[in-house]
Structure 1
């Protein structure tokens, strides 16, 4: 197996020059750079990444812990994060916690042992002290944990936009399906503002809270069916995710409830398939690509020793389609 010394000898340069080419440091002429890369390719030279990371004191690896990559929202967000991180030279280790404390703790320990430069947390089940004790760069997504920097969309504004649209459409009895509101999640602000708006406008409201694992849709259909059986006069519904809203469309089709003629429906997230449902889903759009890029930029700055602010909230937009 070729070594860095072998490459240097064949290229007729010093080992230091080859090292500078590999690490993109110092001035190296374009001709020398191209020659070194050509020799490395000819000799099938593979840099020792462990040695390089020790030299740089950075592994150029990031960890990401999310509830499940099988959920389209987290799948799309993870795509944008990995894509941008890769452009900066980072590799990603993506972990599914399934909102399980044991799994999350095991993944955090694994990421530490793999010397990742930082962790992006989209899951939060452990005691706050566990995250503080990590003593390494962390950025959270839609979660506020102690003094850890976080990235979020404007959930409060999202709830207001949803309420205003349903009120404008003339809805008088509106259901809201959301996650567990007892959990300390920034996403609950969309429910808080939505329900506040309905109360101020004296509109009858039905609230359905899901369990802690709101990312699996196995029980959605039964729950939504019971909702319409108990409240056949519903004329509006705001779901706290597009996945929940898609299940509402499916149940409405089976029960003969016309959307939007009889029921106006709004989702949240604007994941790609929201435009593909029948009818196409009106939704509150989170800027997933921008959120992913910002999370990576914050981690990169923290790894470099820079100071960053704690709160990073990006604007949401109403995307009106056929379901309203």
Structure 2
């Protein structure tokens, strides 16, 4: 049976009120008594109730993290960095996978509010959730616009789209396709498509877009990609993420298409996992370490000063490009 406050008080030889004061750091308690209570808590493996502490105006030192899926290497690596930095700052996380399920995300949001977390970092793919506007907690968003009162942190998606397109062109591609979601909805990641379109127009080439959805299974994406490669004149493909780019490379191998001689491919994300196991992939690299730092620093500042007006609502961090075998070596570089 889980130990109770009364068990700690009995073992330490003090009152319940004294144990409560030690836990909440309230009032004068002698160091000798404080250590006796701590020893009793440790021996009984007693964990203070974070919710009960929050009802007394104390911080729970819990942060809610809502991301689509940690099966995606990018989100997994970002969550790891966020968790490590928050732990070093004295916080623990409650991780919620929202996927493409609005009801699930709303339920998680209610749960985080009920558990009185000190703040939330949201990287949701579910749009139009009005509850974010009235949470009453410090929130910072990654790569998604949630509300005019919630700051957004993202990489320079627009420049990433430009860079990927330009790299393919300089490598010799002239029929460059964008593989992702061509329907813009006002989110930072849509700027990858905008960057592609603007660079294609600048180069006086023809725009080509092909839809693949984040929610589609790998098998459905592969089928769609094989159809594209079989029926189009594509000699270059800008992929909206690394996993989609890897599916393109796989489909090209199965169809006997030579990469990079006949087809050049770029991804977007640049995680350590993909770079280690697929070093051949050329990709736009997001600054994961910097993104994690800005998300946390911004959130902790909002927790510390919740009523202070933010100087800016959008934080855009620069990207880099990793050139590799999937576009070939560019002459002179």
TM-score normalised over the length of structure 1:
0.85
Further displaced range: 84-93 or 218-227: 84-93
Which blocks of at least 5 consecutive residues in structure 2 are unaligned? 328-333
Counterpart for residue 330 of structure 2: none
Counterpart for residue 87 of structure 2: 86
Distance in 1 (CA, whole Å) between partners of 2:37 and 2:297 is: 29
Q: 1:183 to 1:35 in 2, by over 3 A?
A: same
Say which SS state the counterpart of residue 111 (structure 1) adopts.
helix
Counterpart for residue 188 of structure 1: 190
Further displaced range: 246-255 or 301-310: 301-310
Q: 1:113 to 1:52 in 2, by over 3 A?
A: closer
Say which SS state the counterpart of residue 89 (structure 1) adopts.
coil
Distance in 1 (CA, whole Å) between partners of 2:117 and 2:101 is: 21
Say which SS state the counterpart of residue 225 (structure 1) adopts.
helix
Say which SS state the counterpart of residue 251 (structure 2) adopts.
helix
Tell me, yes or no, if the aligned pair for 1:152 and 1:313 is still in contact at 8 Å. Answer: yes
Cα RMSD (Å)? 3.0
Deviations 1:144-182 (A, max 9, x none): 223211110011111111122112112111111012523
| Pick aligned residue for 2:202 from 200, 205, 209 | 200
Counterpart for residue 120 of structure 2: 119
Further displaced range: 155-164 or 178-187: 178-187
Counterpart for residue 108 of structure 1: 109
Distance in 2 (CA, whole Å) between partners of 1:24 and 1:235 is: 66
Deviations 1:195-247 (A, max 9, x none): 21112212233211223x3474231111110101111x321111010000000
Counterpart for residue 254 of structure 1: 254
1:31-110, aligned counterparts within 5 Å? 39=39, 43-44=43-44, 46-50=46-50, 51-110=52-111
Counterpart for residue 3 of structure 1: 8
Distance in 2 (CA, whole Å) between partners of 1:64 and 1:77 is: 11
Does 2:135 match 1:134? yes
TM-score normalised over the length of structure 2:
0.83
Counterpart for residue 12 of structure 1: none
Further displaced range: 74-83 or 237-246: 74-83
Distance in 1 (CA, whole Å) between partners of 2:126 and 2:183 is: 15
Tell me, yes or no, if the aligned pair for 1:155 and 1:190 is still in contact at 8 Å. Answer: yes
Q: Tell me the number of residue pairs that the alignment of Structure 1 and Structure 2 aligns.
A: 315
Does 2:237 match 1:241? no
Further displaced range: 141-150 or 271-280: 271-280
